Amino acid sequence: MSIDRARVIGIYKIPPNTSVSEFERKYEAMADAFVALPIARRNLVKHELSFATNACDDPLQTMKLPAQQGIVVVIAEAESHEKLMEYLNDPETQKITDTWRDEMGLAVEETSLTFHAKVITKLDK
């Protein structure tokens, strides 16, 4: 078991009256804006989006796990907590976040989870 890297994870639901394709397009555009920032290129080692699909609904339901649609998981990862904090506290990062929240029309506190994660790698091939 090893503890490595610092990660912030956001899990966001599709807002009402938004199509899945529009939701994905807007999140990809937002991610492009984040990774274009000089602070992101200096401090982040990974920034990724994972959009929920229905490809595994049947086995998930067999395991009595709820299948989800209209969700994106956003991960930003840095080599250290300090580098991640510098990125998150950067005024340009915060400006993009504010713009994104307004454009998406999200009540973020009602439709999302965002948290810092301690990463413990158990298997890495």
Domains of the chain, first to last: 2-117 (3.30.70.100)
Residue 109 has pLDDT above 80, yes or no: no
DSSP state of 80: S
Strand partners, 8: 76, 116
Identify the residue whose tokens are 């991960």: 75
pTM (two decimals): 0.83
Give the confidence band of 1 by pLDDT, cuts at 50, 70, 90: very low
- Over residues 56-63, mean pLDDT: 84
Residue 3 has pLDDT above 60, yes or no: no
The confidence score (pLDDT) of residue 105 equals 62
CA dihedral (18, 89, 84, 40) positive or negative: positive
Average pLDDT in the chain: 86
